Amino acid sequence: MAHTLLVTGGTGRLGTLVTPLLRGGGREIRVLSRRPHAPTADTTWFTGDLRADEGIAPAVDGVDTVVHLAGGAKGDDVAAANLARAAARAGVRHLLTISVVAADRMPLGYFTAKRDAERAIADSGVPWTVLRAAQFHDLVLMTAGAMAKLPVVPVPGGLRFQPVDARDVADRIAELALGAPAGRVPDMAGPRVYGIGELVRGYLDATGKRRLMLPVRLPGGVGRAYRAGDNLVTEGITVGTRTWEDFLAERVGQPVG
């Protein structure tokens, strides 16, 4: 009998990388999207909204493995809870989700929602896997590009990140999706830790832009957490292969360093 997998967020950055890796071997691939899609030869499309709890039941009916990659700025906890309930009712045998490094430590709403999403999946009764990943290079690129539009770039002191390439994460997700449920697996991050100033300077060098950089202090509990490195995990992790410099050289087209 063919193994059937459902991918949520299949049209997003990570989903478009993961879905092709799951095809083959007689597997049936489904994708749940908020927008209708024309049928394709290798994918069955379902339309639904995870946060609104609409269209989920038909998508998970008869599915063996759910690969939950959908996410947004808010509401990830609600979406995961709705999906987990539907997966349990449908008898899904493996529920895999992507989360964020330090979901249980950073005092920010996005991280809290990710933590609660993990709990909803772990408490669903469906055998599960959670992979926490650091920020993708794509997000750092977007952030650095926005900062570089300013004549003077503020650089919060003490902020460090270990960005990871989405392709490395996609490879790991596909491996986990085709394996047995594993619970919380080692977090995934890139091969280097960077200060925010290093990341922005790399972007400026790669794009040939010149900007003044002004050190600033990020106040409050969020600033303290970042300065303490609460958003980092440097031990017991799965490390990606592509650095920020590698990514910039590909995306911007100029060598960095």
pLDDT in tens, the chain (257 residues): 679 999 999 999 999 999 999 999 999 999 999 999 887 888 999 999 999 999 999 999 999 999 999 998 899 999 999 999 999 999 999 999 999 999 999 999 999 999 999 999 999 999 999 999 999 999 999 999 999 999 999 999 889 999 999 999 999 999 999 999 999 999 999 999 999 999 999 999 999 999 999 999 989 999 999 999 999 987 788 999 999 999 999 998 655 44
The domain in which residue 141 lies consists of: 4-196+202-251
156 falls within a domain: yes
> Residue 164 corresponds to which tokens in the numbers above?
């990871």
> Residue 232 corresponds to which tokens in the numbers above?
């980092």
CB 207 within 8 A of CB 252: yes
Q: What is the CATH classification number for the domain harbouring 235?
A: 3.40.50.720
In this prediction the pTM is: 0.94
20 falls within a domain: yes
Residues 6+ apart with CB under 8 A from 121: 68, 80, 84, 95, 97, 128, 130
Structural domains counted in the chain? 1
CB 147 within 8 A of CB 200: yes
256 falls within a domain: no
257 falls within a domain: no
12 falls within a domain: yes
First to last CA, the chain: 52
124 falls within a domain: yes
CB 126 within 8 A of CB 87: yes
